[in-house]
Amino acid sequence: MDRIAHIRLSSVILPLANPISDAKVLTGRQKPMTEIAMLFAELQTADGHTGLGLSYSKRAGGPGQFAHARELAPTLIGEDPNDIARLWNKLCWAGASVGRSGLAVQAIGAFDVALYDLKARRASLPLAKLLGAWRDSVACYNTSGGFLHTPLEQLLVNAQASRERGIGGIKLKVGQPDRALDLRRVEAVRKHLGDDAPIMVDANQQWDRPTAQRMCRAFEDFNLVWIEEPLDADDHAGHAALAAQFDTPIATGEMLTSVADHASLIRHGAADYLMPDAPRVGGITPFLKIAAQAEAAGVMLAPHFAMELHVHLAAAYPTEPWVEHFDWLEPLFNERLAIANGRMLVPTRPGLGLSLSDQARAWTRQTAEFGVRP
């Protein structure tokens, strides 16, 4: 059997063109986001096969992810790259004292994605086809043009530009202290785009239960695709009550960092749309476990962020999903995703279909290498 011979880890800091603000900033809980910390794992086997994996952190945690990945990497040298599930478990036990969620598994996620990328490349298949694709394109929606720091006039311009570019849905950030401003912005975008345009809103966990109740009721008239994270991410009972009461679907799950957390969310009936994030839950191996539970419960899927990875995972989900379009990560890769008629096309290149750009190398802050290049 082939064996993992060499691993290269990279900590890359991706600067954002403009500081990003959502409801968490306006409530004083977080500072505007100015950069994203990326963790890349590049694997090479004795037979010369390669795989690229990624994880990430926003605002904090990037150095910790890299440090933990550096501790775990030697565990993989000499291992059979085919044994992905076993290796995930081995890595998890290697860091068992720091837990099975959060930063601990996010470091594992970069290795896990790289192993799947390697396996798909070796089979000369796109990752979606390796997993068993249901479709060759996925409905997509744009978030990056709808943040709260964007003036209303520019918000309308951004929404129109996204639709003209071929992106299907538009997501708007809400959750401002003045709730009338939220309603005014959503009403303006609905009027500007028309009754049939898919629109979502995202409160980023900033409402309490009474406020969420009132806002969900007020948003019923706007024919939204979903209302995202109206409550704290851990308030599964509260989300379930909203999902049961209102016609507008409730979406949540992006902040959860384990299979067990998502299982609880599904068990409570707290999400009409489940929003797992593969890097946040520890990679593709746990993501597939979450997706299987969601399918069994009849829950719709809308993976969070990292469209370059999630377009493949969404394409392998039976019920028509949504993928979040963020162009923030594009400078890190030599390839681009294609969009047409409201849908994101699944790449036909083997694996993820990605290679790191010269810019990604230039933004690299730390590297670590293990094993010997074949």
Q: Which CATH class is domain 128-345?
A: alpha beta
Domain ranges of the chain: 4-124+358-371, 128-345
Tens-binned pLDDT, residue by residue, of the chain (374 aa):
899 999 999 999 999 888 777 777 777 777 877 889 999 999 999 999 999 999 999 888 899 999 999 999 999 999 999 999 999 999 998 888 888 888 899 999 999 999 999 999 999 999 999 999 999 999 999 987 778 788 899 989 999 999 999 999 999 999 988 899 999 999 999 999 999 999 999 999 999 999 999 999 999 999 999 999 999 999 999 999 999 999 999 999 999 999 999 999 999 999 999 999 999 999 999 999 999 999 999 999 999 999 999 999 999 999 999 999 988 999 999 999 999 999 999 999 999 999 999 999 999 999 999 999 98
pLDDT at 100: 82
Please tell me if the domain spanning 4-124+358-371 has the same topology as the one spanning 128-345: no
Residues tagged in the binding site annotation for substrate: 22-24, 58-59, 171, 204, 324
SS in 3 state form for the chain? CCCEEEEEEEEEEEEEEEEECCHHHHCCCCCCEEEEEEEEEEEEECCCCEEEEEEEEECCCHHHHHHHHHHHHHHHCCCCCCCHHHHHHHHHHHCHHHCCCCHHHHHHHHHHHHHHHHHHHHCCCEHHHHHCCCCCEEEEEECCCCCCCCCHHHHHHHHHHHHHHCCCEEEEECCCCCHHHHHHHHHHHHHHHCCCCCEEEECCCCCCHHHHHHHHHHHHHHCCCEEECCCCCCCHHHHHHHHHHCCCCEEECCCCCCHHHHHHHHHHCCCCEECCCHHHHCCHHHHHHHHHHHHHHCCEECCCCCHHHHHHHHHCCCCCCEEEECCCCHHHECCCCCEECCEEECCCCCECCCCECHHHHHCEEEEEEEECCC
Q: What is the pTM of this model?
A: 0.94
pLDDT at 339: 96
pLDDT at 145: 72
Q: Which residue has the tokens 């003036």?
A: 151
What amino acid positions are annotated as catalytic residues? Answer: 173, 304
pLDDT at 24: 76
Q: Which superfamily does 4-124+358-371 belong to?
A: Enolase-like, N-terminal domain (3.30.390.10)
Phi, psi at 274, each rounded to 5° = -90, 140
Residues tagged in the binding site annotation for Mg(2+): 202, 228, 254
Q: What is the largest CA-CA distance in the chain?
A: 63
| Long-range contacts, stretch 162-167, CB < 8 angstroms, 24+ apart | 162/325, 163/193, 163/197, 165/339, 166/339, 166/340, 166/341, 166/342, 166/343, 167/140, 167/141, 167/142, 167/325, 167/339, 167/342
Residues tagged in the binding site annotation: 22-24, 58-59, 171, 202, 204, 228, 254, 324
Nearest Cα to 302, choosing from 241, 235, 228?
228
